[in-house]
Structure 1
């Protein structure tokens, strides 16, 4: 079974998927939508879950550096609950501190143009989130 990695933002949802064995994560896409209008992202996930055998969704959990929870973390909790309710699937919250910064620096080191980086930053962050989870499974 495969696993999905998600990086939830106010205007986009980065999506990554694992291989069948759960060793490697690869970026799939970034779904863009209007401010906090997650329906487009949810519809994309619905179609993906119908097509792929997914047993777990790993959702980025943006804690503050002092380990406290802010507004974005609360949005992730609510999105997790929505996904569990709609799709009856296991959703794991995964600490995503510094993933966007890491994704940005990786993309800069690959000499990607600014427009391409902006377009793919959330997909790359979702990949980093999912790979961190996969690595933790041993």
Structure 2
């Protein structure tokens, strides 16, 4: 699994194939997917964390079913731009996934993504705490993926 920057990732993926975004939480993995044109990210599923191999099998099943060509994994950076233990855990997750099946991966700085999503769910949709709990991680995954898709599209227009 090559870890690529977004520009190289876009060039390495076949056209017309969607990407998958992951928000790796402590108890769950939020999953989002893009459309085949890689314009819009949509929340897909919430995977409960258990054993790594079970999580990986679920992700591979989702990837195969949608013909996913790459993963965008949220990287929880510290506010000063350094990587802490959670970011290192995300990198380890990607390495472990690669041991089972090589997949093209890029990381996306997810600082404040969960906070932004929670604010949106409260302010715009007026969701209760209970309703937010079931939606926030997969919506955060869509937020992460959309940020990466927008960056790739912005870079393509400036080249």
Query: Aligning the two structures, in what range does the TM-score lie when normalised by the shorter sequence?
Result: over 0.9
5+ residue gaps, structure 1: none
Shift of 1:41: 2.3
Shift of 1:83: 2.1
Q: Give yes or no for contact 1:83–1:91 (8 Å, CA) kept in 2.
A: no
TM-score under structure 2 normalisation? 0.81
Higher percent of residues as strand: 1
TM-score under structure 1 normalisation? 0.93
- Measure, in 2, the Cα distance between the counterparts of 1:114 and 1:132: 25
The answer as to 2:35 corresponding to 1:11 is: no
The answer as to 2:109 corresponding to 1:123 is: no
The answer as to 2:69 corresponding to 1:55 is: yes
Structure 1 match to 2:46: 30
Classify 1:92/1:21 alpha carbon distance in 2 versus 1 (closer, same or farther; 3 Å).
Answer: same
Give the structure with higher Rg (CA).
Answer: 2
Structure 2 match to 1:91: 105
Q: Give yes or no for contact 2:40–2:146 (8 Å, CA) kept in 1.
A: yes
5+ residue gaps, structure 2: 1-16, 154-159
Q: Give yes or no for contact 1:31–1:40 (8 Å, CA) kept in 2.
A: no
Report the aligned-residue RMSD. Answer: 1.2
